[in-house]
Structure 1
Amino acid sequence: MSIKVFLKRVLIITMIILIIISALYIFQDKQRFTKKTGTINFSTKTEEKNILVNKNGEWENFFVKGVNLGASKPGYFPNEYGVTKEDYLRWFNLIAEMNANTIRVYTILKPEFYEALYEFNKDRENPLYIIHGMWVNDNSIEETMNAYDDRIIKNMKRDITSLIDVVHGNAYIPQNSTHASGKYKYDISQYVLGFILGIEWEGYFVYGTDLFNEEITSYDGEYLKLEEGTPFEAFLAQVGDYAVEYESEKYEEQRIIAFANWPPTDPLIQPYEPEDYNDIAQIDVDKIKGTEKFETGMFASYHIYPNYPNFLNMEPEYTEFIDDEGKNNSYRAYLKKINNHHEIPVIVTEFGVPSSRGIAHFDSTRGFDQGNLSENEQAEIIPELYEDIVKENMAGAIVFSWQDEWFKTSWNTNDLIDTERTAYWLDEQTNEQFYGLLSFDTGEEHVKSYPDGNFSEWENSKAIINDDEAKLYMDSDESYIYFKLNIKDLDLENDSVYIPIDVTPNSGAYKSSLFGLEFDRGVDFIIEIKGKENSRVYIHDYYDYLRYRAKSLPSIQKFTEERTKDMDNFNYIYQYLMENVDIYIKETKQKLIKDEQIFESGKLIYGNGNPNSDEYNSLADFFIVGDEIEIRIPWQLLNFYDPSKQKVAGDYCVEGLNPKPIRISKIYSGINVKRGEELVYSSNLQSYSWKEWNTPSYHERLKPAYYSVQKMFEDE
């Protein structure tokens, strides 16, 4: 026999052996999930308004103390699944040390998440439980406006199948556009407290489903049924029944389930809600009942915040409610009403406030606004909201969220930035990015500069303006543009310091009658440092987005070609963010708030921005020591569309509200100093440049709220 024939036979025999081994493995693996005992196993269930967990054969009341875990970190959008196994293990340790007992996730994550959770929990007496969500594609919702469309209901059932197989360690998911993919082999089902199916349903989607399917008013399933309800409630009963049936029949297990909901589609009627889409349809999950075959039970899941929707700020039933501390408390009033409505347990599966510079909505009773709150204020507010939840006898509370999310946008800033690049820079003006207990601060080890009076980070920097009377340094990172000034013999009581900034070649004035200043370049912004309480950033009104958007600002005369060319005909004005639009009582059309509400985001806050300081204020914009001033300005406050690609907003006057962005390579800044009304120093504008980036630099930092949540969970 030739060596060639011998080797060929060896190869064939080896392949046969491998095929047999693989077949045996597949058979045994399949047997693991097909062997039937005829008994449904479950370790969680509901009883009246409580959730119970079986521990060592004993049923115990279980109050959910949780945190929502997102799927992203800087440099990644959620569908890119950039969080690693090492990240998860580190975070699980921190979350457990925070005294939480539950993590809520929104969708199927990549296999590393389940592997990390399995490793973390396997030797723990008190594991971290999971409430696992199942996401629904937003694009399909907008395209169909009908839950019974195949793109919704079929895909939802497919994803339910995948989700249940995933938590049982029995799935291979190919690449797809809905959630993560890969081989899932770690069985974490013993740690899965329950499932939440769906998302925050938009009112018009629920309304459309009800309108298109009027004949569907009931559902009779093996595990869930609806005797009489709306078409959308029947849809929920159907997909919920499918989930329970699939897990019961394939794995002989059940767990508690819920359907995601929020106040805009709650079962209550809100006559003071001004926005139709926030009260156009109702969902009442109490109408969905379990059959005798469903042994675990349902709970109601609500995302509830103190500052949205608007009926919380308008309806006397909420705004005039007095809590047991004698305070007006619309949040507590709503919790009481929604909990009283339900016979099943209610978990507040999202609550919190963001520690952001920008703001989107306000809370009229306690000032728990959606933004413009410091990290210390966030740390104080979250326990107050939690106390409201506990006092209203809810079944649990899940803080939103574990980590800050750079990719997020907000309704009042998403027109101003490139929403396809938000994951690469931190926008201090967008409140949605700052709900986390864990901050991703810029810089691999430390932030480039804090306004804190310590100027050591500037020692090796080169000034762009450098003479005996004044010096100006500039720097930047993924979050701010930094300025450091030295003004000889600075007199904070009498001096006004102006930093003119030229951002775009398409606009800007060469003089300002407001300040009595002249410039050598067209200036788009002016930073005015005028004492600790009266400093701000002004914008040239030609370049102000809000002048073209907000009805409450002075009406704009039509720009003629002549006026467009003469930028000096414009003024420098305050900078604002919109907080709200016109608000009416829906039933009576009575106007409650005149025109749009606006918030002066250009107002600068004096303080120490260093987290290591006892006087730490995360909202601090500038600090002064002697002759030296440190300032940090968020990129978006200077109309940056995407600083990572050196893009600024285009020409609103010529192109309207969505102008084509302009690419620049430099910005120009200068110094002007007035002592009283006398101009004592003036410089030409000099250039500052920075490099583009695609990989942001960051490091993790626990916010003060982490420690306040740690204490509140310990005390409960």
Structure 2
Amino acid sequence: MLAATESQAAPDVPTRAGENFLEIRQPDGSYKPIFVKGMSLSAALPGKHPSEFPHDEQLFRDWLKKLADMNCNVIRLYTILPPEVYRALRYHNTTYPDQIIYLIQGCWVTPPTDPDYDFWGQKFNDEVELNSRHAVDLVYGNANFDDRPGWTGGRYDADVSPWLLAWLWGREWEPDDIERFHELTNRREYKGRYISAIDKQPIDCWLAKMCDYAVSYEMDQYNKQHPITYSSWPVTDPMEHVSESKLSVNSAENEGRVDIFSSDTIQMTVKDFTVSPDFKAGVYASYHIYPYWPDFFDNEVEYSLCKDRFGISNYYGYLTHLKEHYGTMPLLVAEYGLPNGPMPAHKQKQGLHHGGHSEEEVIDGMERLTYDIWDSGCAGAIVFAWIDEWFKKTWIWADFYDPWDDRRLWYNQYDPEENYGMIALLPGEGAPNNTLSGNDAEWEDVSILPGDSVAVADNAPVITSVKAMHDEGWFHLRIRLDNFDDWDFNKTELSIGYDVLDRLGGNFAWPGPLKFLSDSGLETVVQIKSGQAYMYQTETWRFWRPFNDEVSKSISLGEAKPHYLQMEENRWSWFEPWVETNIYRLGRDGTFFPSQSFKLNPLPRGTLIEGQPRYTQQAIWNSDPDSKVVEIRMPWILLGFVGPHQRRVLQSDIDEPSKNSSVVTDGIGVGLAMSSARGDALAVWPGMDVYDAEDPNSILSSQFDGWNRILTSKSGIYTWDEWGVEDIRYHGRIKPIYYAMRDLFGSIEQVRPLWKDGPQRQPVPDGTEMPETPPLAEPLKIDHAAILRQQN
């Protein structure tokens, strides 16, 4: 503990935690509340770890100016960033005094990993206190320390303390870490100089110590005070949620598919702190609050009946409940956001899913969330995040990436965690490599794959050429067709077969109704028909498999282990992949909440050229009659690649079948078939013969004798060299959400918030039944301009 200086002058308190809001001292000595309109300044560029930041002051100057133009008044830094960030902030605020950006500075805390997971451990606390001192000193431009693993460093000479709004220490605390800590100790008291926790649970006492140390250090070194808190999230909120079981109740055929993450076992609140009158800056509460998780957001009856200004809103129900707990203490929503992308990882009742949104749908969802934060009386809204980050992962895919730490080297369009940014960072130097627009110039330097079009019927379409290329996000094909005019594929079908591993593995029979074989085993086939594209995968190429769950009495998904392509079980079957977004849950009162799922088909159609018909950034394929081509970009993960930079595809570890691993493939083979809607063959590529079951080299049974066989092997194997971080090429693009949030942040304070008309929580009597959830209609359209007009 730091000792107070006896002759210490009265502290300087530039900002404080006031009533409902953080407050900034004005020139006349009064304090003015600020509604935080903030941005989480994510800074991990493609290929980089989250602790590998760019040392580019001009880049950060440009970003800060864009943030100011977006009407952000605060940036939140989770941890210590490079000196260039703070120099850029000082430059911005001195250059643009009418666009001041305040700072909420964080200090990341990795939970203790000692054998006993002790938060009181000396080594662990020494590390936390060292980082705390660094974080405080650098804000005052008074730090010089070296890089360490996981931590940046340098000479911090830019004093940004005039714009420091608050401290925000720590991270989202995992319940398991806290439960292990509580098993070690029953220490229930910490008496600090400014912040104490008396007769509280051990984690509260340690958090009080962490915050008290930082406050004391700032006072001793600089005689200043700023509000402080620790980071939190709904998983450790102070309320009880009866819909959340504290016991693991899920199982799968005696396997380990158990929901081990308990979302209602730990209750923490900064209100448990005892704050000394000498700490005049005070404390506030801070939470990361997304609409789609934990599940109790959707499963609590009270939240499912709550209405915001637009209708039923479970998110608003939770916010008002949490705000009621904190009363007039400022409650900052320090993270919220919605990612774009084709697939949701978790569903939400009002359609505010974890992914599965077009970039345009994100706008309406974010506007609604921002209004809910404003209307519930929260102290501010900090958007997550500024840029897309490739290193992030969602739970659906996290166990499959291999090497796990190399996921930062490639882009997974189907991982929502990679798509939160106001700025998209996507493969392609300066622009997309393939805009799915029929642009010949994008393909002029790409070689044609070997192969010939073979007519199987009279007046058949001609598969003139097939080109292939790849980048960090997709495997691209361009298929040129002649003697063909059915570009919406209403009367014809185009089937594209991918052989990604082991010529003898996979499925040799194409999906129905085609009665064709392939001379090389296929793992994935895309069929374009009736204006849509459908993906089929062989049964031996599953990421997950369905099973009859004995608890839920329904079909659920479990991870398919082992992942062996050579498995013979159901080898000749094809399936349309789907994911289980929400596993079922059993509440403490016995209420059963069924699972939810999402089908990956149909694959999105469109072009990446804004203004063209079918424009969407989610697009996977498109056809262009002018150029006479079909173009498709298959995301690596949908082809089974879990480390495309090394040509790695999913396989189980031979020695440990329950462990995910991968093997290196030599590349990708391609075969094509065109047929009528009934499945009658019209043309194939790259070659064809007739299968002879009597041939000594034949491996298939006599039931396939006489079938036409597409010679997929004639296309050769498309292969590529391993790429590393220095090989990555990407481009940035400002998403539409940036401009929508600019307009909303610029004027939301003109709207009278609902909380000013009285408490917004809408509790319900015990025993109230859960209302039926209506089917999702069209995404809610929010007319912010109309709301503003109503104010006048």
Aligned-residue CA RMSD (Å): 2.7
Instruction: Show the counterpart of 1:353.
Output: 338
Instruction: Show the counterpart of 2:313.
Output: 329
Note closer, same or farther for the CA distance 1:584–1:117 as it changes in structure 2 (3 Å cut). same
Alignment coverage as a number of residue pairs: 674
Contact in 1 for aligned 2:653/2:661 (Cα 8 Å)? no
Note closer, same or farther for the CA distance 1:712–1:614 as it changes in structure 2 (3 Å cut). farther
Cα drift, residue 613 of structure 1: 4.2
Note closer, same or farther for the CA distance 1:297–1:540 as it changes in structure 2 (3 Å cut). same
Q: TM-score, normalised to structure 1's length?
A: 0.89
Cα drift, residue 657 of structure 1: 4.8
The one-letter amino acid paired with 1:692 is: E
Q: Distance in 2 between matches of 1:181 and 1:569?
A: 54
Instruction: Show the counterpart of 1:31.
Output: none
Alignment of 1:214-613 (within 5 A): 214=186, 216-274=187-245, 277-325=262-310, 327-343=311-327, 344-364=329-349, 366-418=350-402, 419-464=404-449, 465=451, 467=453, 469-470=462-463, 471-488=465-482, 489-491=484-486, 492-505=489-502, 507-512=505-510, 514=512, 515-533=514-532, 535-547=533-545, 552=555, 564=566, 569-585=571-587, 587-594=588-595, 597-611=596-610, 613=612
Identity %: 27
Contact in 1 for aligned 2:331/2:379 (Cα 8 Å)? yes
Note closer, same or farther for the CA distance 1:607–1:680 as it changes in structure 2 (3 Å cut). same
1:699 and 2:731 matched: yes
Q: Distance in 2 between matches of 1:96 and 1:63?
A: 15
Contact in 2 for aligned 1:312/1:331 (Cα 8 Å)? yes
Q: Distance in 2 between matches of 1:644 and 1:558?
A: 24
The one-letter amino acid paired with 1:437 is: M
The one-letter amino acid paired with 1:103 is: I
Cα drift, residue 296 of structure 1: 0.8
Deviates more, 1:472-481 or 1:447-456: 447-456
Cα drift, residue 460 of structure 1: 4.1
Instruction: Show the counterpart of 2:25.
Output: 54
Note closer, same or farther for the CA distance 1:197–1:253 as it changes in structure 2 (3 Å cut). same
SS in 1 for 2:651: coil
Note closer, same or farther for the CA distance 1:554–1:341 as it changes in structure 2 (3 Å cut). closer
SS in 1 for 2:39: strand
Contact in 2 for aligned 1:543/1:651 (Cα 8 Å)? no
Q: Distance in 2 between matches of 1:630 and 1:335?
A: 45
Cα drift, residue 550 of structure 1: 9.4
Instruction: Show the counterpart of 2:39.
Output: 67
Q: Distance in 2 between matches of 1:98 and 1:166?
A: 27
Note closer, same or farther for the CA distance 1:550–1:254 as it changes in structure 2 (3 Å cut). farther
Cα drift, residue 347 of structure 1: 0.7
Q: Which has the higher helix share?
A: 1
Q: Distance in 1 between matches of 2:560 and 2:42?
A: 46
Alignment of 1:615-654 (within 5 A): 615-626=614-625, 627-651=628-652
SS in 1 for 2:517: strand
Q: Distance in 1 between matches of 2:132 and 2:103?
A: 16
Q: Distance in 2 between matches of 1:548 and 1:150?
A: 48
Deviates more, 1:647-656 or 1:125-134: 647-656
Note closer, same or farther for the CA distance 1:482–1:643 as it changes in structure 2 (3 Å cut). same
Cα drift, residue 458 of structure 1: 2.3
Note closer, same or farther for the CA distance 1:210–1:558 as it changes in structure 2 (3 Å cut). closer
Note closer, same or farther for the CA distance 1:142–1:487 as it changes in structure 2 (3 Å cut). farther
Instruction: Show the counterpart of 1:205.
Output: 177
Unaligned runs of at least 5 residues, structure 1: 1-33
Q: TM-score, normalised to structure 2's length?
A: 0.81
Q: Distance in 2 between matches of 1:649 and 1:544?
A: 9
Unaligned runs of at least 5 residues, structure 2: 248-261, 454-460, 550-554, 686-710, 749-792
Instruction: Show the counterpart of 2:665.
Output: 664
Note closer, same or farther for the CA distance 1:150–1:654 as it changes in structure 2 (3 Å cut). closer
Deviates more, 1:307-316 or 1:69-78: 69-78
Q: Distance in 2 between matches of 1:554 and 1:436?
A: 30
Instruction: Show the counterpart of 2:82.
Output: 110
SS in 2 for 1:713: helix
The one-letter amino acid paired with 2:733 is: R
The one-letter amino acid paired with 1:235 is: W
Contact in 1 for aligned 2:509/2:572 (Cα 8 Å)? no
SS in 2 for 1:636: helix
Contact in 1 for aligned 2:490/2:531 (Cα 8 Å)? no
Cα drift, residue 549 of structure 1: 8.9
The one-letter amino acid paired with 1:458 is: W
The one-letter amino acid paired with 1:387 is: Y
Q: Distance in 1 between matches of 2:631 and 2:263?
A: 44
Q: Distance in 1 between matches of 2:273 and 2:558?
A: 52
1:127 and 2:93 matched: no
Deviations 1:549-580 (A, max 9, x none): 9963699999999x956588431111223313
Instruction: Show the counterpart of 1:192.
Output: 164
Contact in 2 for aligned 1:354/1:436 (Cα 8 Å)? yes
Q: Distance in 2 between matches of 1:336 and 1:557?
A: 41
The one-letter amino acid paired with 2:109 is: V
Q: Distance in 1 between matches of 2:165 and 2:563?
A: 64
Cα drift, residue 274 of structure 1: 3.8
Instruction: Show the counterpart of 2:772.
Output: none
Q: Distance in 1 between matches of 2:568 and 2:150?
A: 51
Deviations 1:170-229 (A, max 9, x none): 122233234212222221111111111111001122233333322x32332221123332
Cα drift, residue 238 of structure 1: 1.4
Q: Distance in 2 between matches of 1:204 and 1:61?
A: 37
Note closer, same or farther for the CA distance 1:493–1:613 as it changes in structure 2 (3 Å cut). closer
Contact in 2 for aligned 1:203/1:265 (Cα 8 Å)? yes
Cα drift, residue 707 of structure 1: 0.6
Cα drift, residue 690 of structure 1: 2.8
Note closer, same or farther for the CA distance 1:709–1:557 as it changes in structure 2 (3 Å cut). closer
Note closer, same or farther for the CA distance 1:550–1:131 as it changes in structure 2 (3 Å cut). farther
Cα drift, residue 500 of structure 1: 0.7
Q: Distance in 2 between matches of 1:497 and 1:282?
A: 56
Note closer, same or farther for the CA distance 1:557–1:570 as it changes in structure 2 (3 Å cut). farther
Note closer, same or farther for the CA distance 1:460–1:110 as it changes in structure 2 (3 Å cut). closer
Cα drift, residue 320 of structure 1: 2.1
Instruction: Show the counterpart of 2:675.
Output: 674
Contact in 1 for aligned 2:501/2:666 (Cα 8 Å)? no
Cα drift, residue 387 of structure 1: 0.5
Deviations 1:255-286 (A, max 9, x none): 01111000000111111124652111110111
Note closer, same or farther for the CA distance 1:401–1:646 as it changes in structure 2 (3 Å cut). same
Cα drift, residue 614 of structure 1: 7.0
SS in 2 for 1:487: strand
The one-letter amino acid paired with 1:338 is: L
Note closer, same or farther for the CA distance 1:462–1:550 as it changes in structure 2 (3 Å cut). farther
